[in-house]
Amino acid sequence: MADTKGGGVSRAASYWLTDVTGRQTARYVCVTTGRRPSAKVQNFCAEHNFEYHHFKIPNKLWTLLTLFNLTSLQRYGLKKFGEIDTILLPNIGFTGPLTAPYHLLLHDCSFAIEPRWFKWKMRLWHRLLPVKNLIKKAERVHCVSEQTKNDARRLYDLNPEKLSLTHPMNQGLNDSPEKKPAWLPATTERFVLLMGGADPRKNIYTALKAVSLYNIHQPDRPLIPVVLGGEPHNPFGDCPLPSVIAPHHIADSELIYLYKHAQALLYPSWYEGYGLPLQEIQSYNKLCVASTAGALPETAPPGTIFCHPAKPHEWLMALNLLGTE
């Protein structure tokens, strides 16, 4: 949750924690590590009347200490708060040894399905993480979709009884005020949203190719791709399309502006555990085009158009539904 670049994963984690903690009255404490406290988590705790504690330790040092079992989240919690009934882990991470019961939110299994989607540092991080132990020893694994649930069961040979389904539905993003991003050029009138530009798994090349073809057929009313999540890498070099690249971190108010004013959201991912942006934009009555891969056919809202992630011409046909409004 403290990761400012966490995007949908961070928001899904906050929705899950809101849902789980709302079912039972108890003392809830959020703990973060790092050099500085997380304003994001502090605000979340203030909104939900949770306690917030920050363990001031560099995250790399925390990783090393927990990797060699020299400390743990539970050990820190026992010193600060006393006996712990249950630990809620909103994502897989370095926790150190845990003997208290814990619940884990599993967003997807992409790191195990295709490691090449990640840069070498992330692949190393995934290899060092005790992923299998964390998942197998959890009292309950909360999966964001049937796809994730089935993948976890297949990959880690889990007892189906410890797996539960939880859909991280949007619980308040649409209630926030909108703010036009300062980084968005004033000339950007008709634009489409693309998520995860620097992430090969998000496969936005297919969407860029479709928008390029659309603009050839609609030269008087072109679409500008607004790319979130870093600069896209085009391995083919045949799609010279002007794009607006968003900063790595944007405020919720800016995201709401983009949702409200976009012509469409294109989501051609090779694999998704859920696909939260599709849920978040649905209340704005926008054209949503999603991949047929991963959990998207299961989780995408009604009215979503599905296209093959490797066939730009299908995405062009979907964009043609925009007409010349």
Q: How many CB atoms lie within 10 A of CB 184?
A: 18
Answer whether residue 172 shows pLDDT above 60. no
User: Quick one: what percent of the chain has pLDDT higher than 90?
Assistant: 66
pLDDT digits (tens, 9 = 90+) for 30-47: 999 999 999 889 999 999
Unique residue bearing structure tokens 């950007």: 188
Give the pLDDT confidence score for residue 8 in this predicted structure: 73
The DSSP 8-state label assigned to residue 57 in this structure reads B
Contact 200, 233 (CB under 8 A): yes
- Is the predicted pLDDT of residue 104 greater than 90, yes or no? yes
How far is residue 129's CA from residue 259's CA, in Å, rounded to a whole number? 35
Q: Which residues of 201-219 are buried (b: 16+ CB within 10 A; e: fewer)?
A: bbbbbbbbbbbbbbbeebe
The two three-digit tokens of residue 75, written as one number: 């050990």
pLDDT in tens, 197-231: 889 999 999 999 999 999 999 999 999 999 998 88
Q: Residue 3 has what pLDDT?
A: 60
262 vs 252: CA distance, rounded Å? 15
What are the domain boundaries of the chain?
8-168, 174-322
Q: What is the pLDDT of residue 6?
A: 57
- The torsion region of residue 219 among left (phi > 0), alpha (psi -120 to 50) and beta comes to alpha
Q: Which amino acid is at 115?
A: P
The whole-number pLDDT of residue 155 equals 94
317: which DSSP letter? H
Radius of gyration over every alpha carbon of the chain, rounded to an integer in angstroms: 21
Report, as an integer, the average pLDDT of 99-110.
94
Instruction: Give me the pLDDT at residue 14, please.
Output: 87
- Name residue 267's beta-bridge partners: 290
> What contacts 59, CB < 8 A, 6 or more positions away?
33, 34, 35
Looking from the CA of 236 toward its CB, the CA atoms found within 13 Å total 10
Nearest to 287 by CA among 250, 252, 249, 325: 325
Q: Say whether 162 sits in a helix, a strand or coil.
A: helix
Segment (H or E) for 168? none
3-state SS, residue 143: strand
pLDDT value for 23: 83
Residue 189: is its pLDDT beyond 90? no
Q: Is the pLDDT of residue 238 over 60?
A: no
**CA 219 to each of CA 213, 312, 317, 324: distance values in angstroms, whole numbers, following the listed order:** 10, 18, 16, 11
What six digits make up the tokens of 110?
Answer: 């992409």
- Give the model's pLDDT for residue 170: 55
Query: Residue 324 above 50 pLDDT?
Result: no
Could you tell me the CA-to-CA distances from 242 to 76, 223, 245, 309 in Å, in that order?
50, 10, 10, 21
Residue 51 has pLDDT above 90, yes or no: yes
Q: Check residue 283 and give its pLDDT.
A: 84
- What's the pLDDT at 167? 80
From the CB of residue 153, how many other CB atoms can be counted at a distance below 10 Å?
16
pLDDT in tens, 56-86: 999 999 999 999 999 999 999 888 888 999 9
Q: Is the pLDDT of residue 24 over 90?
A: no
Q: From CA 267, how far away is CA 194, in angstroms rounded?
A: 7
What does DSSP say about strands 287-291 and 102-106: parallel, antiparallel, or unpaired? Answer: unpaired
What is the CATH code of the structural domain delimited by 174-322? 3.40.50.2000
CA angle 158, 159, 163 (to 5 degrees): 85
What is the pLDDT at residue 162? 94
In angstroms, rounded to a whole number, what is the distance separating the alpha carbons of residues 33 and 73? 10
If you average pLDDT over residues 105-133, what whole number do you get?
A: 91
pLDDT for residue 325: 47
